[in-house]
Structure 1
Amino acid sequence: MAEVRMTNINKSFGAVEVIPDLSLTIPDGSFSVLVGPSGCGKSTLLRMIAGLEDVSAGEIHIAGEDVTGAKPSDRGIAMVFQSYALYPHMSVRQNIGFGLKLAKTPKDEINRRVGEAAEILQLGPLLDRKPRQLSGGQRQRVAIGRSIVRKPKVFLFDEPLSNLDAALRTQMRVELAELHAKLNATMIYVTHDQVEAMTMADQIVIMKDGIIQQVGRPMELYNAPQNPFVAGFIGSPRMNLIEGRIAEARKSKILGIRPEHIDVSPDAGEWEGRLRYVEHLGSDTVAYVDSEAAGRITVRLPGEVAISTGDAVFLTPRANNIHLFRADGTVERA
């Protein structure tokens, strides 16, 4: 385990500055997720931690040691990529232990470590299979096993679930969270999927244009976003961000209200509107409402609700759940 500390990190590709000036601490033993839209700099930052990208300025420390100029192999890290990168002609056992074999680790030690990793990842019955005989989720577990046997100080994950279907992604989120609990290791995980961030992280780092927007625990970011970008990025469906007269009446530039914090009535309410589209999902109902006063509003109601496209409705935001943002984008009240 190890703390990862980045101080005044800058990264430029020629004249293009992708990370202007970033300082961040990844606590020892944490599961920290770097999240943001494509091009926000999260993968570049991960690659700088790994030593796969040079740092233009600043310092990176892992476990108290300055590794800014160190080779990837000398940083005590292991990285799991989006692609599994397994050797097709090797068995699962051979794939997991290949890095140790290259390092000339004694055969008994290789077998012991591979066995431990296989037990943690439930790969025991699959050790003699080839990658083509495995599912996508099983292949990703093999790639993770290859990292575990190296006993790194820090695990780095670069969008490892992107190639999996929805059901497998859900399963693997659970397995990765359980793996973190078993290993009690420092893990840094990159994704553009805020659901992955919310469900797995104990620390989320939200980035935009190479700049950290907010750092905190998942529900801290959900309940108290510090700017409209964070407010709109975290949560699904996304927070309603309303400008104009409604926000101005509360002396703010933007009023934010989450879809689940809006009450719907057929008779009376603060904003009148008409249902543009309704999604009946069983566990909840998501409605998209066109309102002259508030614009297009998304509402989420628990369970199955008897409303249909075209119905007239009245919406009332719950006062205690309103978020107000100033003209400069900072939070006024949440």
Structure 2
Amino acid sequence: MAEVTLVEVEKTFRGKTTVIPNLNLQIEDGSFTVLVGPSGCGKSTLLRMIAGLETVTRGAISIGGRDVTTAEPSDRDIAMVFQSYALYPHMTVARNIDFGMRLAKVPAEERRAKVAEAARLLNLEELLERKPAELSGGQRQRVAIGRAIVRNPGVFLFDEPLSNLDAALRNRMRVELAELHQRLDATMVYVTHDQVEAMTLADCIVVMNAGQIEQVGTPMALYQRPETLFVAGFIGSPKMNLIEGDVAKAYGATTLGIRPEHLEVSHEAGEWRTQVRVVEMLGADAFAYVDSEATGPLTVRLPGDAEVRSGDVLHLTPRHELLHAFGNDGRRLPDEALAKPQASMA
């Protein structure tokens, strides 16, 4: 078992600046849990505390039921993969992967077997005699992951491992990481500021903001039912439309949320009259960025072959059952609190 439990964990720097106040989190054994949030939200600090690279000011951390709050990183049954690959340039791929085992005086035959298995899992078998300078960025990152795999840890920790890669390579590496998790069935904790990465990789997402947890849940639970305005605006690409003013008040909310794909579009009539500013064509989909006197700017998801151009007038009607209502405190209102307006706000 390699569940990770944080109980009332707090991190304060120099006794003055509290970056993580009183945080509680349960990371299930075998899960792929992603910590996501904007820069400076505390996600990397939290990961480093789990790894033992940052001390805990207050609270407790356990891994696999064992208290590791004050344990050295080497005694925590974890392996960490960083944003930088940190490979030894003068060593071959095979030597980079087995370097930690050689330091630990693991027998040569066992080392060779573990390197061979890691290379098979990561499609590095043809590259074992190459040096890092001869590898692509994605291949180097796989070597760094291989170095973690051979340790056979209870928990893998990833700190923005794909941020140095170009977009196409990031997409491919996301698939490879998801497949690796399925093969290893290991607990993985992954930090990113990219919510698309979080949505595509995770079976559990922890959304962080200013050192605190906004919401924990599956990707679709967060997408379909955000509990706070922050989560509503952070999860989803493009982000949820958030509407204030008279339109929101008509529905009994301070802020009204609607996803771009949950707006019904007509050229003749609808609840909100809008004018198209720009249409972004993406092949299967198109996104129309529109303005409305009632709602302000909105984003609308359309079929890729939709006949819509800049300057067109579109009438939009939100799907009532898919609206999200938030109160003054930025928290989600109960579904029964969502009123249906008596008159069009167009």
Q: What's 1:174 paired with?
A: 175
- Give the letter for the 1:248 counterpart: K
3-state DSSP class of the match of 1:2?
A: coil
3-state DSSP class of the match of 1:293?
A: coil
Q: What RMSD, in angstroms, separates the aligned Cα atoms of the two structures?
A: 0.8
Q: What's 1:28 paired with?
A: 29
C-alpha distance in structure 2 between counterparts of 1:156 and 1:53, whole Å: 14
Q: What's 2:339 paired with?
A: none
3-state DSSP class of the match of 1:40?
A: coil
Q: What's 2:219 paired with?
A: 218
Offset, 1:302: 2.3
3-state DSSP class of the match of 2:29?
A: coil
Q: What's 1:104 paired with?
A: 105
C-alpha distance in structure 1 between counterparts of 2:86 and 2:307, whole Å: 49
Q: What's 1:243 paired with?
A: 244
Say how many residue pairs are matched. Answer: 334
Q: What's 2:297 paired with?
A: 296
C-alpha distance in structure 2 between counterparts of 1:123 and 1:313, whole Å: 52
2:322 counterpart of 1:321: yes
**Structure 1 contact 323–333 (Cα < 8 Å) conserved:** no
C-alpha distance in structure 1 between counterparts of 2:96 and 2:233, whole Å: 41
Q: Gapped runs of 5+ residues in structure 1? A: none
Offset, 1:320: 1.1
**Structure 1 contact 290–296 (Cα < 8 Å) conserved:** yes
C-alpha distance in structure 2 between counterparts of 1:185 and 1:84, whole Å: 21
Change (3 A) 1:157 1:65: same
Q: What's 1:207 paired with?
A: 208
Q: What's 1:94 paired with?
A: 95
Q: What's 2:145 paired with?
A: 144
C-alpha distance in structure 1 between counterparts of 2:302 and 2:232, whole Å: 20
2:10 counterpart of 1:10: yes
Q: What's 2:132 paired with?
A: 131
C-alpha distance in structure 2 between counterparts of 1:183 and 1:104, whole Å: 24
2:61 counterpart of 1:60: yes
Output aligned runs, 1:263-278, within 5 Å.
263-278=264-279
**Structure 1 contact 281–304 (Cα < 8 Å) conserved:** no
Find runs of 4+ consecutive structure 1 residues off by over 2 angstroms.
Answer: none
**Structure 1 contact 263–318 (Cα < 8 Å) conserved:** yes
Output aligned runs, 1:246-257, within 5 Å.
246-257=247-258
3-state DSSP class of the match of 2:126?
A: helix
1:17-74: per-residue Cα shift (whole Å, max 9, x none)? 1001100000000000000000000000000000000000000000010000000000
TM-score, length basis structure 1:
0.99
- Give the letter for the 1:193 counterpart: D
C-alpha distance in structure 1 between counterparts of 2:274 and 2:226, whole Å: 27
C-alpha distance in structure 2 between counterparts of 1:9 and 1:56, whole Å: 7
2:192 counterpart of 1:191: yes
3-state DSSP class of the match of 1:219?
A: helix
**Structure 1 contact 285–302 (Cα < 8 Å) conserved:** yes
C-alpha distance in structure 2 between counterparts of 1:212 and 1:304, whole Å: 40
Offset, 1:325: 0.8
Q: Gapped runs of 5+ residues in structure 2? A: 336-346
- Give the letter for the 1:3 counterpart: E
C-alpha distance in structure 2 between counterparts of 1:125 and 1:333, whole Å: 57
Identity value in percent: 65
C-alpha distance in structure 2 between counterparts of 1:268 and 1:157, whole Å: 50
